[in-house]
Amino acid sequence: MVKAGVRILFKSFRLAWRAQKRFWAFIVIYFILIFMVTGLLLSTNTLYILTGILGGLVVATLYGFLLTAFRKTEIATLKCIGWSNSNIRILIIGEILLVSCLAFLLFIEVGIHVSGLAFYVSGDPFKPLFFVPGSVQQVLLARNMLLPSFVTVVLAQIPGILLANYRILIVKPMEALRMP
């Protein structure tokens, strides 16, 4: 069954990519979220850090909700054709995983470009560029915060994944037979 699970995971990546609007919208949202969490983790203020974690929770839970709400008939149909709850779970979690990882890579990519540009202009990769506010550049280049912010965002996914899982479980296959 591992082979089947891997096959479904790759299929979920392909399907996520094809859901163009939702896919790109959430990559941008996750990018902003990672930026926000990194910025807030840079501060020593506990309230700011908690705000970052809360933001992560809200976005991830919303994404988990939307993914399963958009695909309710699809989930029921997949159950009708013999997919188990765990097969469907892989399909949904695969998309969440892909989106959050790509948003994180995009965040690193933007940071590299900003530091490269700063090095080209001034010879110092950390010197603020005139068109990027200092604090924004500081967040984008906060390499020591990359891992903590990624871990925070990943942990914040858990309630969203649990919600998605619950919604997968409650969809009955016979719902596919009813008129939408």
Partner 1 sequence: MSSRKSSSYSVIVTKDASKEYHRGREVVVAIKNANLEIKEGEFLAVVGPSGCGKTTLLNLLSGLDSPSSGKVILDGIDTTVIDERLFPKLRREKVGFVFQDFNLIQDMTAMENVMAPLLPTDMKKKDIEKKALDMLRAVDLLERKDHRARELSGGEMQRVAIARALVNNPKVIFADEPTGNLDSKTGKDILELLKRLNEEQGTTVVLVTHNEEMKQYASRVIRLHDGKIEKGA
| Nearer of residues 12 and 152 to partner 1, judged by Cβ | 12
Nearer to partner 1, 33 or 168 (CB): 168
Tokens of 131: 């068109």
Q: How far is the CB of 73 from partner 1 (least distance, A)?
A: 7
How far is C-alpha 105 from the geometric centre of its chain's CA atoms?
11
State the minimum distance, in angstroms, from the CB of residue 94 to partner 1: 13
- Whole-angstrom Cα distance, residue 15 to residue 33? 23
Closest CA relative to residue 79, chosen from 180, 167, 7: 167
Query: Rounded to whole angstroms, how far apart are CA atoms 104 and 74?
Result: 28
Shortest separation between residue 164's beta carbon and partner 1, angstroms: 17
Dihedral sign from CA coordinates of 125, 153, 56, 48: negative
CB-based contact 125:116 (threshold 8 Å): yes
Per CB under 8 A, residues contacting partner 1 are 1, 3-4, 7-8, 11, 15, 18-19, 73-74, 77-84, 87, 172-174, 176-180
Residue 148 or 173 having the CB closest to partner 1: 173
Minimal distance in Å, beta carbon 9 to partner 1?
11
Minimum CB distance to partner 1 smaller for 15 or for 117: 15
Backbone phi and psi for residue 142, each to the nearest 5 degrees, phi listed first: -75, 75
CB-based burial, 98-115: b 16+ in 10 Å, e otherwise: bbbebbbeebeeebeebb
Least distance CB 79 / partner 1 (angstroms): 7
Would you tell me how many other CB atoms lie within 10 Å of the CB of residue 8? 19
Query: Closest separation between CB of residue 141 and partner 1, Å?
Result: 37
Closest to partner 1 by CB, 11 or 113? 11
Q: Which is nearer to partner 1, 4 or 105 (CB)?
A: 4
